[in-house]
Chains A and B, each alone.
Chain A
Amino acid sequence: MDVGTLVQVLDSTLRLATPLLFACLAGLISERAGVFDIGLEGKMLVAAFMAASIAFVTGNVWLGVLSAIAVSVAMSLVHGVAAITFRGNQLISGVAINFLAAGITVVIAQNWFRQGGRTPSLTGDARMGRIDLPFAEAVRDVPVLGPIYHGILSGHALLVYVAFLCVPLTWYMLTRTRFGLRLRAVGENPAAVDTAGVSVIGLRFAAVAICGVLCGLAGAYLSTGLSAGFVKDMTAGRGFIALAAMIFAKWRPWHALGAVLLFGLLEALANRFQNIDFFGLAVPVQAMQALPYILTVVILAGFVGKAIPPRAGGTAYVKEH
């Protein structure tokens, strides 16, 4: 593999890791507050559709992003009402959101655009522009620094940088702020929060809403940054891969970054090397494309060692002594 190819692969790793990173942090915040969310996939899908549709209609990608966030948060709150207020089963609520998203996006897309359940291709301002980091051109030909800074780090959409900035922000929020302390506490022992005079329901809804915002960003980037439009089922299981990454990272933000970069790298490799000659044996393209999913299975099968989820995760809070 020459340097040019390596730079290309790493460059695309960052882009492919971005929606995973948003979704992974979304799930992480929700689950640290004790609300399991397997509806990340559905929220991303709806957000991707909404972003592409509004961006196409208005010609402004940022209006698309805002509406993606709005619709994703709305679905999060549906999950919140079901799981927190009415103490419903959190997994079933998440599954329902995934089904709803898979169906409703295609139906509405067909009704609006008549292109077989997709949105028209986005061009110009309806797509996310790339940002060149300062001095990127200047260091282009400097050895080592050039390929890394210009080739890999520079030239991505704004949301890529936002996603990576979210890692330290999430870490800081969780470990250094009052909100983070309470959020973690409500995921571990909501009774401690309740008896300390803080609203369990309020905290959990806040966490679910943040989860919605991040899923909205994940979906918007998917359809307006990574691709140029929405197609049916375009999330392709990324919401579940993000969940696997979250478990792999044991619900810790910095580790989540590492996990999604690993998944992003695998996906980038699969895209770049469609046919590999492995000691005379031709590895079919499907095997490469399946790699991220195989890794997901391996991780979820428990090869990560002991992953202790938040203790009150998945259960609604009911007062008792």
Chain B
Amino acid sequence: MITAKTAYVLHSDQGMTHPATEPMRQGTAASSPFAIELRGISKAFGPVQANKDISIRVRRGTIHGIVGENGAGKSTLMSILYGFYRADSGEIVINGNHTEIPDSLSAIRAGVGMVFQHFKLVENFTVLENVILGAEAGGLLRPSLAKARGLLKDLAREFELNVDPDALIENLSVGHQQRVEILKALYREADILILDEPTGVLTPSEADHLFRILRGLKEQGKTIVLITHKLREIMDVTDEVSVMRRGEMVATRVTSQTSPTELAELMVGRKVLLRVEKPPASPGDEILRVEGLRLVDAQGVERLRGLDFNIRAGEILGIAGVAGNGQSELLEVLAGLRPADGKAWVRGAPLPLSGAGSDAQSRRALRIAHVPEDRHRRGLVLNFHAWENTALGYHHDPAYNPTRWKMDNAAIIRDTESKMAAFDVRPPDPQLKASGFSGGNQQKIVLAREIEHGPDVLLVGQPTRGVDIGAIEFIHQRLIRLRDAGAAILLVSVELDEILALSDRVLVMFDGRIMGERMPDKTNAQELGLLMAGMA
């Protein structure tokens, strides 16, 4: 076990100690092997019980993972530890001392720091100003800024936390903004650092860098709590891992003695197939055919440079590629969201790509359904109820709109209830606003809307982006079931694993062109990776 001594050395030459915190931390560090003990924490938001009688112990000087599906209550629990929310009941013990944490100031004084999923930075302030905010050394800024500048330099050297102290936050990359959040916590002498879904916004190399930083912090004796739903991260960096499910703590494991499969089962509460079971496809007639598809954007850049492909009934055509190589534009063109040049046919009948009959409503009339890549901007109106979202795009459907002018809201609500049941949307409440659902459940609402109308062609972009494991499995199964019912599915995803797992044929796009076609069982990630990089 690493003692608090090393952690203290880090700051001793700066004299950076809050008088109020010093007595609290002295002498108690060795009395308990646990940096954090939460006992019987409960928290409700209105009717939703976010945390139910949760107890957890985190050993000092370790990296402790907390996993769970979206909405399992991980963030709420840690926000309580940071004083952002107050628990309805339960107690908090930090380094063996009972600690009341009614607000964030108390948490900071107890040595707890938190990096929220959505950063709490002032965008038009400099890095230094953000770091000292709330922890200024006195009434005037100049000495505080000078002191922070010195300390930041030391921290940067020690932990690879390089950030230009005078840069404005809005000019920094997300990865650098995250470093500022970590620096904020370290500046406040946090011994316990909580990170909420830290890699969701990072590129893979930024994520690797973050994990190096975390390991460095651990070596200095800091205790780190890592909230995530990515099992690979848990296996890579944590020492122990606790699993939460639906507001309850279900298990704690030593990371080296568990497996992703076991963790996934604990998270979801049942067996999970990390790999979908897919019976072989039996493609039928050609449903969609595209020839010479070209798109020039408003800046005069050619985004699609002549695409030719077809999809048959009962087939999933996967489009692989690094984001920004024309996949989004392809979806938009086929969904009728922007005009393009070229020819297309649906079930042998010409499909106009521009002008009359090329709008989204006409596409829906031709049984072409679209699950947009960005469900927040295009898939849903977040401020609408679930049932209103279910009617979007199908508001002319006679079942919803029998008189052509007055919507039958009761019918829509009943239909939403049955769709929610069929797609296991939680909570199954049609009156809840779309923004009130977790990412996975929002996606299920969109998929239910599009799939339950029985489309002949389904255009689907990034179906499992920001979706938790249980929901991923469910969504994949639904797409395959739709395929087996005879639909032609165009799947765009930047997740190569997803493309390989679901597709019957794979096209790789690069710079607006199709670089090649492969069969998923006769290719591998390496070959596809080369095609995605434009190296044919």
The answer to whether the Cβ of A191 comes within 8 Å of any Cβ in the partner chain is yes
Whether A178 and B144, one on each chain, are in contact in the complex, defined by CB atoms closer than 8 angstroms, is yes
Cβ contact of B134, chosen from A180, A193, A321, cutoff 8 A: A193
Note all chain B residues with C-beta closer than 8 A to A179.
139
Q: Once the chains are docked, how many angstroms separate the CA of A64 from the CA of B387?
A: 60
Q: Nearest-CB distance from A313 to chain B (Å)? A: 13
Chain A residues near B140: list those with CB within 8 A.
176-178
Tell me which residues from 186 to 206 in chain A have a Cβ below 8 Å from any Cβ of chain B. 188-189, 191-198
Contact status of A185 and B125, CB under 8 A, knowing A178-B136, A196-B135, A197-B134: yes
**B53 contacts the other chain (CB 8 A):** no
Determine whether B345 belongs to the interface, using a CB cutoff of 8 Å to chain A. Answer: no
Nearest chain A CB to B198 CB, angstrom units: 13
**Size of the chain A interface, CB-CB below 8 angstroms:** 23
Report the separation of the CA atoms of residues A193 and B132 in the bound assembly, to the nearest whole angstrom.
11
Given A195-B114, A197-B134, A319-B85, check contact A189 B141 (CB 8 Å): no
Residues of B with C-beta under 8 A to A195: 82, 84, 104, 114, 116, 120
CB atoms of A196 and B104 under 8 A apart = yes
Most chain A CB within 10 A, of B75, B103, B106, B120, is at B120
A191 closest partner in B (C-beta): B120
- Given A181-B133, A181-B136, A196-B104, answer yes or no on A321-B124 (Cβ-Cβ < 8 Å): no
Could you tell me the distance between the alpha carbons of A188 and B126 in the complex, rounded to whole angstroms? 13
Q: Are A197 and B139 in contact (CB under 8 A)?
A: no
- Which among B84, B105, B133, B142 is the interface contact of A192 at CB below 8 angstroms? B133
Q: B125-152 CB contact bits vs A (8 Å, 1 = yes)? A: 1000110111110111110100000000
Q: Is residue A311 contacting chain B, with contact meaning CB distance below 8 A?
A: yes
Q: Which of A181, A182, A192 contacts B121 (CB 8 A)?
A: A192
Set B106, B117, B132: member contacting A321, Cβ < 8 A: B117
What mask results when residues 446 to 467 of chain B are scored 1 for a CB within 8 Å of chain A, else 0? Answer: 0000000000000000000000
Task: Indicate if the CB atoms of B75 and A321 lie closer than 8 Å.
Answer: yes
Q: How far is the CA of A184 from the CA of B134 in the complex (A)?
A: 12
By the criterion CB–CB under 8 Å, are A193 and B133 in contact?
A: yes
Question: In the complex, what residue of chain A is closest to B82 when comparing beta carbons?
Answer: A195
Closest chain-A Cβ to B132's Cβ sits at a distance in Å of 8
* Chain A residues whose C-beta falls within 8 Å of the C-beta of B85 in the assembled complex: 319
Q: How far is the CA of A195 from the CA of B125 in the complex (A)?
A: 16
CA gap between A192 and B118 in the complex, in Å: 10
**CB distance A176 to B79 under 8 Å?**
no
Q: How far is the CB of A207 from chain B (nearest CB, A)?
A: 16
Which residues of B line the A interface, CB within 8 A? Answer: 75, 79, 82-85, 103-108, 114, 116-118, 120-125, 129-130, 132-136, 138-142, 144, 184, 196
- Top 5 nearest A-B pairs by Cβ distance? A196-B134, A197-B105, A178-B136, A192-B120, A197-B104
